[in-house]
Amino acid sequence: REVLVFSKTKPDGAFISTSARPLIGPNAQLHGAVSVFRDTTEMRRTRMKLEESEKRFRDLFDANPTPLLCYELESHRIVEANPAAVELYGFSRAQLRDMTICDLLPKSETTWTEEYFNPAEGVSMSKLAEHRHVHKCGESIYVVPRFRRMTVDGRDLVVMAAQDMTKRRQTE
């Protein structure tokens, strides 16, 4: 019937998880209990290290001054954007996550799309060529994109760093 679960940290730092279940006899009488004690210290430490590592990565991604977009290779759906990308493109992070990388590319220019849709696996690609992208307001922005293909949790992703060249281009 009822399961009792509790955890306790021992003075030496070990983490013990306990669960207990009553043994009920034929007349609905309590005959005893079964208790299981499990040392979950290593599992907990591993989970904490993973959480710390993910936080460090998130902090580095978010603090990066270069606009970064991460999108799925097959669907081209944007799965993540850092604050610098939000500022560059004018869309909120949530709006970018509802878009594909194609939504940021001008509909009239399709000659260079292979770089976006099939970058070499694990290789940073850059031809140092400016590409025209589209800001939320519809104006053109110019970037030099660099790509890194990677697999995370079984998903093929592309991280695109977009060096903003718009101001330089406007002063020419």
**pLDDT value at position 114?**
61
Q: pTM for this one? A: 0.70
Q: What is the pLDDT of residue 70?
A: 95
Residue 43 CA to residue 16 CA, distance in Å, equals: 11
Q: What is the C-alpha to C-alpha distance for residues 166 and 137, in angstroms, rounded to an integer?
A: 15
| Residue 106: per-residue pLDDT | 86
b/e 65-99 (16+ beta carbons within 10 angstroms → b): eebbbbbebeebebebbbebbbebbebeeeebeeb
Task: List, for the chain, all residue ranges whose pLDDT scores fall below the cut of 70.
Answer: 1-2, 4, 109-128
Q: What is the pLDDT of residue 124?
A: 52
pLDDT at 85: 97
Predicted pLDDT at 39? 87
- Contact at 8 Å (CB) between 42 and 26? no
Nearest-angstrom CA–CA distance, 18 and 8: 8
